[in-house]
Amino acid sequence: MNSTATIPKRIAIIGGPGTGKSTLISSLEADGYACMREISRDIILEAQKEGVEQLFLTNPILFSQKLLEGRLQQFLDAERYETNYLFYDRGLPDVPIYMDYLGTEYPDYFTETCHKNKYETVFLLTPWEQIYQQDNERYESFEIATKLYTYLKEGYENFGYKTIEIPIGTVEDRKKFILNTLQKIT
């Protein structure tokens, strides 16, 4: 385990569905940056193997609890990395923010976990209709994705973050924007 001084800066890359988060994370990872991948697809696929087509819609509390636990473990796993930055495909606050979007009540420990475990920087991808695609695990329409973007932006601000919006552009342009911004602020 590393000492607190050597834990990498935790950088969350957030945005509604289909904004290019996973593609951006994959590109950063290909360039040698340490990244934590999105785990929601794994949870969805696991539930589908058990006969539950959309766990998020069928049992949002259970789905969200599994997400929160997995993302918290990813957050805590930063201690195992010896690097300047650790990039996350989504962050802990996504969990209660999505629940707020649905109007579903959830246990207090959801928000307490988010307040206790903070990312150093949060980048926000805006909705981009040209790259948006629905699939088996991404059931939301582009309109819903746009609403979720608004919830995420406001929700992260409510958790005390100042989100940094990543301009629409190629993966390389977006990656350069992130890396240049981090050099300026850290």
Nearest to 76 by CA among 139, 7, 20, 125: 7
Distance CA 11, CA 24 (A): 13
Enclosing domain of residue 116: 4-185
DSSP 124-141: EEPP-GGG----SS----
Here the CATH number for the domain that contains residue 31 is 3.40.50.300
Distance CA 156, CA 145 (A): 16
DSSP letter (8 states) at residue 119 = -
Summarize pLDDT for 41-65 with one digit per residue, the tens.
Answer: 889 888 889 888 878 778 889 999 9
DSSP letter (8 states) at residue 170 = -
Distance CA 130, CA 153 (A): 21
Tally of domains within the chain: 1
pTM attached to this predicted model: 0.88
Summarize pLDDT for 6-32 with one digit per residue, the tens.
Answer: 899 999 999 987 788 989 999 999 999
